[in-house]
Structure 1
Amino acid sequence: MNIVDLPNEILLTIGTFITKDDIIAAATTCHTLHKALASHLWDQLILPAQQKSIPVDVNILKAHAHFVHCLTYLTTISPDYAIPFPVLTNLAFEFSKWPVTLPGTIPPPDRDSYLASIIRLCPRVKNLTLTNATPCPAVQLWEAVFSTLESPQRLSVTCMDPTDNPSMQAFWRACSRFEELELVGFDILSTNDLPTLLFPRLKSLTQQLSPYYRYTIGHEGHLAWMMRCPNLTALEWRASCSSFPGWELVEAILHNTWPLLDSFELIGTRFEDETSALMLEHLPPLQVFRLPSRHLSELSFDQLQRRHFATLRVLDMNGCGEFTGDMVLSVLSGCPFLEDFSASYFTASGLSKRDPSRRAWVCLGLRRLKVFIAGDWKHPEVDQLVFEQLSKLVQLEELDLGDDPLRDLDGNLRKELRYQGGLQLRLDSGLDRLAGLKNLYAVEFRGTVQTIRVEEIEWMLESWPQLEEVSGELSGNSKTHEVLKEMLEQNGVANY
Structure 2
Amino acid sequence: MTTILDLPDEIRLLIGKELPKKSIYTLIRVCRSFYSSFIPCIWSDLSLTNLNKSTVITADQVRLNAHRIETISFPTTLSKDYYAITYPCLHTLWMLAFYLDGSDDDHLQVQLQEKIDFLRRHPFLRKLNYQQKDTLSMEFWEVVATELAQLEDLMFMGVVEQDAVDAFWRTCERVQNLHLMDVTFHPASMPILSTRSFRRLRDLTINKYSWEESLPRRMWPVHLLERAKESENLKRLEWSVRDIDFPVQLVLDAFEKNCWRELCELSIGGVACSDQDVAMVLRSLTSRRLTDFELSSGRFGPLIYSCLKEMYFGHLRDLRLGQAPGVTSGMVQEIMTECVHLVNLEAPYIFVRSIATASKSWGCLKLEKLVVYIASQAGDEADWDGRAFEQIARLKRVRTLGLQGDPDGLSFVDDEDSRSQDIMYMQTLDLRLPSSRTMLESCNNGGSGDIRGWSSLLQLREFSFDGDRQWMGVDELEWMTEHWKDLTCISGNFRAAVGIASSDRLKQLLNQHGIRHYEDV
Same fold by TM-score greater than 0.5: yes
Aligned to 2:334: 330
Q: Distance in 2 between matches of 1:69 and 1:447?
A: 38
Aligned to 1:179: 176
Q: What aligned pairs does 1:285-364 form with structure 2 within 5 A after superposition?
A: 285-354=289-358, 356=359, 359-364=360-365
Q: Residue 271 of structure 2 aligns to a residue in which SS?
A: coil
2:271 and 2:298 in contact (8 A); partners too = no
Q: Residue 176 of structure 1 aligns to a residue in which SS?
A: helix
- Asked if residue 238 in structure 1 is aligned to residue 240 in structure 2, the reply is yes
Aligned residues: CA RMSD: 4.6
2:92 and 2:126 in contact (8 A); partners too = yes
2:313 and 2:339 in contact (8 A); partners too = yes
2:465 and 2:491 in contact (8 A); partners too = yes
Q: Distance in 2 between matches of 1:260 and 1:93?
A: 31
1:294 and 1:408 in contact (8 A); partners too = no
Amino acid at match of 2:410: R
The 3 A distance-change label for structure 1 pair 294 and 125 is closer
Deviations 1:256-304 (A, max 9, x none): 4322112211222212111111111122312211013442211110111
Aligned to 1:441: 461
Amino acid at match of 1:286: L
Which segment is superposed worse, 182-191 or 310-319?
182-191
Aligned to 1:163: 162
Deviation at 1:227, TM superposition (A): 2.9
Deviations 1:54-75 (A, max 9, x none): x9579x95x8754443454859
Deviation at 1:147, TM superposition (A): 3.0
1:67 and 1:87 in contact (8 A); partners too = yes
Aligned to 2:484: 464
- Asked if residue 410 in structure 1 is aligned to residue 413 in structure 2, the reply is yes
1:135 and 1:160 in contact (8 A); partners too = yes
Amino acid at match of 2:93: L
Q: Which runs of 5+ in 2 are unaligned?
A: 1-6, 30-34, 100-108, 435-446
Deviation at 1:321, TM superposition (A): 0.8
The structure with the larger Rg is: 1
Q: Distance in 1 between matches of 2:111 and 2:501?
A: 59
Aligned to 1:207: 206
Q: Residue 380 of structure 1 aligns to a residue in which SS?
A: coil
Q: Which runs of 5+ in 1 are unaligned?
A: 1-6, 27-32, 98-107
Q: Residue 319 of structure 2 aligns to a residue in which SS?
A: strand
Amino acid at match of 1:320: A
Deviation at 1:478, TM superposition (A): 7.0
1:398 and 1:443 in contact (8 A); partners too = yes
Q: What aligned pairs does 1:74-473 form with structure 2 within 5 A after superposition?
A: 74=76, 85-92=87-94, 111=112, 115-132=115-132, 134-138=134-138, 140-164=139-163, 167-188=164-185, 190=189, 192-209=191-208, 210=210, 212=212, 213-214=215-216, 216-283=218-285, 284=287, 285-354=289-358, 356=359, 359-376=360-377, 378=379, 379-404=381-406, 406-410=409-413, 413=419, 416-426=422-432, 429-431=448-450, 432-446=452-466, 448-450=468-470, 459-473=479-493
Deviations 1:113-163 (A, max 9, x none): x5554433322111123334643421x443333332332121122112331
Deviation at 1:363, TM superposition (A): 0.8
1:320 and 1:408 in contact (8 A); partners too = yes
Deviation at 1:351, TM superposition (A): 2.8
Amino acid at match of 1:148: E
The 3 A distance-change label for structure 1 pair 388 and 37 is closer
Q: Distance in 1 between matches of 2:98 and 2:476?
A: 48
1:66 and 1:86 in contact (8 A); partners too = yes
Amino acid at match of 2:448: S
Which segment is superposed worse, 448-457 or 235-244?
448-457
Q: Residue 485 of structure 2 aligns to a residue in which SS?
A: coil
Q: Distance in 1 between matches of 2:486 and 2:80?
A: 45
Aligned residues: 462
Q: Residue 428 of structure 2 aligns to a residue in which SS?
A: coil
2:197 and 2:228 in contact (8 A); partners too = no
Q: Residue 279 of structure 1 aligns to a residue in which SS?
A: helix
Q: Could you tell me the percent identity over the aligned residues?
A: 24
Q: TM-score, normalised by structure 2?
A: 0.73
Q: Distance in 1 between matches of 2:453 and 2:79?
A: 58
Q: Residue 192 of structure 1 aligns to a residue in which SS?
A: coil
Q: Distance in 2 between matches of 1:93 and 1:86?
A: 18
Deviation at 1:307, TM superposition (A): 1.8
Amino acid at match of 2:509: N
Q: Distance in 2 between matches of 1:418 and 1:365?
A: 33
Which segment is superposed worse, 465-474 or 369-378?
465-474
1:489 and 1:495 in contact (8 A); partners too = no
